[in-house]
Every structure is written in structure tokens, then in C-alpha cells.
């Protein structure tokens, strides 16, 4: 493949990853990396980007739920919260999710 403006050979490649973390690392560490004076362009298709976005959200929610559970198990007060922050019972989440989908 050649660059239409310069007629110089244009390198490209495709990668497959077994895990979403590998895709995330490649996108963050290799994008705009300079190789032989040229910057790499690393991107993924729309379906993969949606999967990565959902994957990141699930990881954040799992971390949040784990943190809440660890405070509950230690029987310690949770960190001080500001008045405007909502408080919810983790048991209510599935029910609220079902209500939203109706």
C-alpha cells in the first residue's frame, strides 16, 4: 500500500488480542509512539471500542462494589461523604436497573 500524497510505501498491520486489557494497553501505550521518525496510529473498530468502554465501566463498578463490601465487612464507617452525594443500597441496583428497562 502506498501513501496517495507521497507515493511512498505505507506500513500497516492488524493485531488480535485475547483479552480486553491488551487492547487497552496497546491503545494507550502505542498510540502516537514515534518509530523511525513517524508516529504510530493505533485504533480499533466501533464494535471493539464499545466493548472496551463497557469493559472499563464494569471494572470501575466492580471496584466500587468491592470497596463498599470491604467497608461493610470491616464494620467501619465509610469515608465521609458530602451532602449532595446520593446514598444507595447495593441490593437495590438490580431492581432499579429492571425499572429503567421497562
* Residues in a beta bridge with 2: 9
41-83 residue pLDDT tens: 888 889 989 999 999 999 999 999 998 888 887 765 666 665 6
Q: Which residue has the cell 441496583?
A: 93
Percentage of the chain exceeding pLDDT 70? 72
- Residue 23 has a CB neighbour count (10 Å cut-off) of 20
Q: Give the pLDDT confidence score for residue 101 in this predicted structure.
A: 44
pTM here is 0.52
Give me the sign of the Cα torsion angle 20, 24, 30, 31. Answer: positive
Q: Give the pLDDT confidence score for residue 100 in this predicted structure.
A: 46
Q: Give the pLDDT confidence score for residue 72 in this predicted structure.
A: 80
Which of 29-38, 70-79, 88-97 holds the top average pLDDT? 29-38
d(CA 46, CA 90): 32
d(CA 102, CA 98): 7
CA terminus-to-terminus distance, the chain: 50
Amino acid at each position: 500500500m502506498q501513501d496517495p500524497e507521497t507515493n511512498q510505501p505505507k506500513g500497516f498491520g492488524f493485531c488480535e488480542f485475547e483479552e480486553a486489557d491488551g487492547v487497552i494497553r496497546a491503545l494507550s501505550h502505542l498510540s502516537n509512539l514515534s518509530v523511525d521518525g513517524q508516529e504510530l496510529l493505533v485504533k480499533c473498530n466501533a464494535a471493539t471500542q464499545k466493548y472496551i468502554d463497557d469493559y472499563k465501566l464494569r471494572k470501575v463498578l466492580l471496584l466500587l462494589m468491592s470497596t463498599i463490601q470491604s467497608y461493610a465487612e470491616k464494620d467501619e464507617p465509610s469515608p465521609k461523604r458530602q451532602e449532595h452525594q446520593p446514598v444507595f443500597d447495593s441490593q437495590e441496583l438490580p431492581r432499579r436497573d429492571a425499572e429503567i428497562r421497562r
